Amino acid sequence: MDAITATIGTLTRGKPRWLEGGIRWFLFACALLSIATTGAIIFILLKETVVFFTMPLEQVLDPSDTGTRVSVVEFFTGTRWAPILVPQSFGILPLVCGTLLVMVGSALISLPFGLASAIFLSEYASSRLRAVVKPVLEILAGVPTVVYGYFALTFITPVLQTLLNPLLTSLFGPHAGVQVFNAASAAIVVGIMTLPMVTSLCDDAFRAVPDALRQGGFAMGATKYEVATQVLLPAALSGVLASFILALSRAIGETMAVTLAAGGSPKLTLNPFTSVETMTAYIVQISLGDTPAGSIEYQTIFAVGAVLFGITLVLNVIAHKVVRRFREAYE
């Protein structure tokens, strides 16, 4: 094609050539915008995080003390997160703990169910059933997250309370019931939300496996189960793992559903039936509140945002690497 363009370039015509070049540069600028976006995200998160760590604390016990700052070590290892209480405390672990609790819980739903339904759709379902189920799952993926939050709060939490409260209170005492805001409900709803993504990506991975491999398995006398688990799964492993990692990354970055369902009390706990706060929920809480811009409480959203961005970026990069590393190329 380049040879053709070169030839065309030598032809002279009535139209100005600079327009062609201009258009090319304009299109290139539009493509560069994506790099500018990434650059801007990283620059702003870094800059504001540095401001956060170099800012003097306002609410210290001794008013003459203006030199106390949040230390990086305290930020990453502290077990109390209370930026708007006195005394202030900036240990991000409770937020990370809440995020991980929701992430692990959602993974317990989205990964097995997503994988199983992908196997069903690509290996067992008739093409007609597929034609119905796949769009339905796509609709499920397109529902706004605030709707899932409503669903968690008004449906899943009451159901959990009805089902589990008698058991929990008889085991652990009268205060052990499911709270109105709880991590379990958030995890379930995020699991439902990420399930279609896992299904769709795994399904694509399975369908990319050449049919000859399946036929070979069947010819050896393998049952469908054996072909699925011992031929397909290893062959499609890269796609399956990548979909898992992307689901985890999506669960970490999920905001509105967990804000509504999990509540806003940062806690270092593994109990899924109490209220926790995730990193995203904290950012929303501060930006909805009346914290003055420029104060250290306000700067925390950039520091927490930087941690959030870092974790999801690492997961996304790993997912891309996994696709390349474990890819079994069939041509």
321 binds other proteins (CB under 8 A): no
Q: How far apart are CA 190 and CA 106, in angstroms?
A: 6
Q: How far apart are CA 216 and CA 198, in angstroms?
A: 27
Question: In terms of Cα–Cα distance, which of 252, 233, 270, 253 is closest to 103?
Answer: 252
Site for other proteins in 191-230 (CB under 8 A): 192, 195-196, 199, 211, 214-215, 218, 223-226, 228-229
Nearer to other proteins by Cβ, of 38 and 68: the residue is: 38
Q: Contact 190/254 with Cβ under 8 angstroms? A: yes
The three-state secondary structure class of 154 is helix
- What string of DSSP letters covers 154-192? IIIHHHHHHHHHHHHHHHH-TT-S--SS-HHHHHHHHHH
Shortest Å, Cβ 48 to other proteins: 7
Q: How far apart are CA 285 and CA 262, in angstroms?
A: 12
Q: Quick one: which of 32, 46, 72, 163 contacts other proteins (CB under 8 A)?
A: 32
5 binds other proteins (CB under 8 A): yes
| Binding window for other proteins (CB under 8 A); candidates: 2-10, 61-69, 71-79, 167-175 | 2-10
* Other C-beta atoms lying within 10 Å of the C-beta of residue 275: 20
Nearer to other proteins by Cβ, of 183 and 281: the residue is: 281
| Binding window for other proteins (CB under 8 A); candidates: 91-99, 170-178, 244-252, 269-277 | 244-252
Shortest Å, Cβ 152 to other proteins: 10
Nearer to other proteins by Cβ, of 119 and 236: the residue is: 119
Site for other proteins in 122-151 (CB under 8 A): 123-125, 133, 135-137, 139-140, 142-151
Structure tokens at 3: 């040879």
Q: Contact 311/238 with Cβ under 8 angstroms? A: no
107 binds other proteins (CB under 8 A): no
* Other C-beta atoms lying within 10 Å of the C-beta of residue 320: 12
Site for other proteins in 261-300 (CB under 8 A): 280, 283-284, 287-288, 293
| Binding window for other proteins (CB under 8 A); candidates: 96-104, 168-176, 249-257, 266-274 | 249-257
Site for other proteins in 11-30 (CB under 8 A): 11, 13, 15, 19-20, 23-24, 26-28, 30
Nearer to other proteins by Cβ, of 155 and 172: the residue is: 155
| Binding window for other proteins (CB under 8 A); candidates: 3-11, 56-64, 68-76, 267-275 | 3-11
Q: Contact 261/157 with Cβ under 8 angstroms? A: yes
Nearer to other proteins by Cβ, of 274 and 280: the residue is: 280
First CA to last CA distance, the chain: 25
Q: Contact 275/60 with Cβ under 8 angstroms? A: no
Structure tokens at 315: 């997961």
Q: Quick one: which of 112, 166, 216, 289 contacts other proteins (CB under 8 A)?
A: 112
Q: Check whether the bond before 87 is cis (ω within 30° of 0).
A: yes
| Binding window for other proteins (CB under 8 A); candidates: 64-72, 93-101, 268-276, 309-317 | 309-317
Q: Contact 202/118 with Cβ under 8 angstroms? A: yes
